[in-house]
Amino acid sequence: MRGSLTLGKIFGIPIKLHTSWFLVAALVTWSLAGSYFPQEYPGWVRMTYWAVGAVTAVLFFASVLLHELGHSVVALREKVPVRNITLFIFGGVAQIGSEPRTAGAEFRIAIAGPLVSLALAGLSGLLSLGTPGVAPLAASAAYLARINLMLAAFNLIPGFPLDGGRVLRAVLWGLNGSLRTATWWASRVGRGVAYLFILLGVGQMLLGGFLNGLWIAFIGWFLKDAAESGYQQVVLKDMLAGVTVRDVMAQQCMAVPSDLRLDRLVADHVLGEGHRCFFVADNGAVKGLITLNHIRAVPRDRRDKLTVGQVMAPVDALLRTDFDEDVLALLKRMDEAGVHQVPVLDNGRLSGMITRGNLLHYMQLRSELGV
């Protein structure tokens, strides 16, 4: 979800708009104002269609936001952190910081969103029936009632990672006691649902509904990837549970002096030895870190004029860790900061390096050994 604009916070949860949201918001407004409302409610002034279409589109995405807030508020009550809520091309998603601790907590978090949508559908339906003399208001409310009902029904499809799939996972988790096994089965059902969406979309495309079919197939593809990655995340957490930085970090880590010129670093250590990242240290004290990204940012004709100390990321700006930090907690911090390597420091002195490559190698070995 990089490339998102933060709007503010609700209950301490950052609310974001992904750049893809602006496209789908424009399409929804155009569809409502140019097609749906003129067909359902002929005779309005043209500007009324656009005004009602724009307001209804905003209220639709407000409904999506409330759906995600339903999940998030219950998650917070269950002591599950929520990183943010992001509205994007497929609607909205609440970024939950960790898995629920129990099957009951998972069920309550998963069902909260559809319940909010059903409540919104009911309120909107009552509003549409209670305002027959105000046609634009009644029309908008009727649409919101229908779309919130559809949103609840769609999310209750028992395909992980949809809400219905998470409800299914909660039930399976409660029955067999294994989150990993429950996630495997729920993700398998989710993949099956995703392939049905793809087939349905392709069928519609062949029958002439190209755009609708393409959209349905695209949703299916998104659900397939999400189902697979959801299971992989659970496997990752299961595999790394209890593993510390000491178990995974690289013992050898090359350090270079701060007065080394960039051209010599490239010639001797990058091209010559294949290293991709270096600590900058003088007399054993770490000053910073320099990577290929730092080097690439310097034009070639200036690399003989600058030293690594002038280009490095200072140690105070680095994400750091120690021997005893839990690897899962560190991986989350690395993901949030968007970094691929972290220095391991012991009382301010360099002890090693942990990288995503270290973690992948460690997991590959465990997988091959069946542990």
Round to whole Å and give the CA distance between 313 and 324. Answer: 24
Round to whole Å and give the CA distance between 260 and 265. Answer: 7
Round to whole Å and give the CA distance between 352 and 78. Answer: 37
Catalytic residue among 68, 106, 228, 368: 68
Catalytic (active site) residue 106:
no
Which residue spans within 1-67 are E strands per DSSP? 4-10, 13-18
Token pair for residue 332? 């989350």
Say which residues have a Cβ less than 8 Å from residue 154's Cβ, sequence separation at least 6.
162
Token pair for residue 309? 């100390």
Which H or E element spans position 362? helix 356-369
How is residue 94 annotated by DSSP? E
Please, how many CA atoms are within 13 Å of residue 186, restricted to the half-sphere of its CB?
Answer: 31
* Torsion on CA atoms 224, 16, 236, 353, rounded to nearest 10: 140
Active site amino acids: 68
